[in-house]
Chains A and B, each alone.
Chain A
Amino acid sequence: MGFFTKETEMAPCTVEVSHRFEELSAHVRLNNGAVIHPGDEVMVDGPPVMAPFGAVVREDRTATIIRASKLEQLWTRLTGDLEYMELCEFSFSEEVTL
């Protein structure tokens, strides 16, 4: 990892989308043990993985990981906490008027 430069890598992954009454979830698992660090970006390649209502869809895909530069990683570690309100739930969006 460079101090200023980003690097890109590919990783095989499994995407699982559950669009059912009893469970609404969507997860991606990287299958080669790649670890995501602060500031990294992950994108599953290909068209969106869609599940019709009532179904669970599991697909093997490739994910593109754009590794943050060392500087960006440090910056994200230092400033990420400022977005802490994202962790809280308030029932409504922040829009003042709809």
Chain B
Amino acid sequence: MNVHTKHSADAETAEESLAYQEAQAVNDSDSATAVAMQNTLLTPRFYTTDFDEMDALNVEPVRQDWDLLLDQMRSDPNRGHFKKNEDWDQIDWDGMEPELRKEFIDFLISSCTAEFSGCVLYKEMKRRGTNPDICELFKFMSRDEARHAGFINDALREAGISVNLGFLTRAKKYTYFKPKFIYYATYLSEKIGYARYITIYRHLEANPEYRFHPIFKWFREWCNDEFSHGEAFALLMKANPHLTRGGNVYWIKFFLTAVYSTMWIRDHQRPAFHQALGVDPAWYGQAVFEKTSEISRQIFPITLDIDHPKWQPLLNAMQDANADLDAARKRGGIVGRLKAGWASARAATAFARLMLIPAIPNEVPESVRLEPAY
């Protein structure tokens, strides 16, 4: 499966890269699938928030931990990590099983878009904010996300897919999120990202025969970046305890349930990817929930009862309803609409029932800081 072909992604200088790119132009457009080509325009979302409220955040109660963490980010321990070395095996993309290829490209494009969106959002936050602690954090986060996006982009280029960054000349509408939603979502997203990557990394460490692409070898350092981003938000929430008290506990439960169930559904929609990795999506999902729940005990006053007998059956019910909803929408017509309505109702009911499973109360420790341990 490993064939060495000269590609612009192998180039060391911009000139070399352009030369390869030109030579390969025809090849690239021939080999890239129609689906992939449609997806190449990166379309990050644009947000505003209450910048005054964000500027008012105070990290003094956790100053010592905060400074240590920011010092670590400033020293940029992963600067040299995202480089291709002899561990980067060449992949025969054309020889890849078509279903796997589609799903893997979806993985790369979605991951690249997510990193890229994070980079745009954090940079915007850094520009608009005036609180030096918060601005510095966003500066480092933006740097890391841009680096990850570049690394994934390179893997895409090897597959003959070039991303298009022309989105700035299209109209972009700015939506609005309350700062606290940004904290919960970013914290959770970074920690779940860590748990997802490290679970795959450890699985492939034990079962290297399933490693169908070299990018998985870089997952450990990659997810350590995600981990430390999450740490910063844990400290922010610790220093501003109203964010994890009172009515906000319900928001936290809602976020956890929404994020876990969405992850479950999306993973189950990509069977070829998981089969190629030798991973059962249900096992994987549960392994990620366990790690994320354990980590989130550092700051969230509750964890979800992921071992409750109704937990997995309700996640599966949401997954089934979502698949039926998609089939009904594709069918169209009055029958399609009726079926879609019924499927939506089933999904909403399953979600509501997940929310009704009592959460497990958690005593948040005095010191929140954690190191990646999985």
| Chain A residues with a Cβ under 8 A of chain B | 15, 17-29, 35-55, 66, 76-77, 80-81, 83-98
Given contacts A27-B123, A51-B165, A53-B11, 6 further A-B contacts (CB under 8 A): A35-B128, A41-B174, A49-B166, A76-B176, A84-B185, A88-B192
Binds A, one of B64-72, B89-97, B146-154, B349-357: B146-154
Judge if B290 is at the interface, Cβ distance under 8 Å: no
- Tell whether, in the assembled complex, residue B153 and residue A24 are in contact, meaning their CB atoms are under 8 Å apart: yes
Chain B residues lying within 8 Å of A66, measured Cβ to Cβ, are 171
Asked if residues A97 and B181 are in contact (CB atoms below 8 Å), the reply is no
Question: Given A37-B174, A84-B185, are A97 and B326 also a contact pair (CB < 8 Å)?
Answer: yes
Pairwise interchain contact A43-B269, C-beta atoms closer than 8 A: no
Chain B interface, DSSP helix/strand/loop, else mixed: helix
- A51 to nearest B CB, angstroms? 7
The answer to whether B323 has its CB under 8 Å from any CB of chain A is yes
Interface centre among A21, A42, A54 (most CB of B within 10 A): A21
A54 and B14 in contact, given A21-B154, A24-B153 (Cβ under 8 angstroms): yes
Known: A38-B176, A92-B267. A25 touches B146 (CB 8 A): yes
A-B contact count (CB 8 A): 196
Q: How long is the Cα–Cα vector from A40 to B157 in the complex, in angstroms?
A: 34
Taking CB atoms, residues of chain A closer than 8 Å to B15 are: 54
Task: Among B14, B17, B46, B259, point to the contact of A88 (Cβ < 8 A).
Answer: B259
Interface residues of B (CB under 8 A from A): 8, 11, 13-15, 17-18, 21, 35, 39, 42, 45-48, 82, 102-103, 106-107, 109-112, 114-120, 123-124, 127-128, 142, 146-147, 149-154, 157, 162-178, 181-182, 185-186, 188-189, 192-193, 196, 255, 258-259, 262-263, 266-267, 269-270, 273, 322-323, 326
Residues from chain A with a CB closer than 8 A to the CB of B172 are 41-43
A-B contact pairs, 12 of them (CB 8 A): A21-B154, A23-B150, A24-B153, A29-B127, A37-B48, A41-B172, A41-B174, A53-B8, A53-B11, A83-B175, A87-B182, A91-B114
**A49 to B169, Cβ gap below 8 A?**
yes
Query: Given contacts A21-B150, A23-B147, A27-B123, is CB(A93)–CB(B82) below 8 Å?
Result: no
Q: Report the minimal beta-carbon distance from A13 to chain B, rounded to whole angstroms.
A: 9
B111 touches A91 (CB 8 A): yes
Give chain B residues whose Cβ lies under 8 Å from the Cβ of A42: 46, 171-172, 174
Q: Are A77 and B171 neighbours in the complex by a CB distance under 8 Å?
A: no
Interface centre among A48, A51, A87, A97 (most CB of B within 10 A): A87
Q: When the two chains form their complex, are residues A25 and B151 in contact, meaning their CB atoms are under 8 A apart?
A: no
B174 near A50 with CB under 8 A, answer no
Q: Are B21 and A53 in touch, CB under 8 angstroms? A: yes
